[in-house]
Amino acid sequence: MLTDTKLRNLKTPGKVTDRDGMYALVLKTGKISFRYDYRLNGQRETLGTVTKQTRQLH
Three state DSSP letters for 23-45: EEEECCCCEEEEEEEEEECCEEE
Please state which of the four CATH numbers 3.90.79.10, 3.30.70.20, 3.50.50.60, 3.30.160.390 is assigned to the domain occupying 4-53: 3.30.160.390
pLDDT in tens, 10-28: 878 899 998 888 999 888 8
Distance CA 5, CA 1 (A): 11
The residue among 29 and 54 whose pLDDT is bigger is 29
The residue among 51 and 47 whose pLDDT is bigger is 47
Strand duo 52-53 + 14-17: pairing: unpaired
Q: Is the pLDDT of residue 57 over 60?
A: no
Q: Where are the domains of the chain?
A: 4-53
Distance CA 55, CA 10 (A): 10
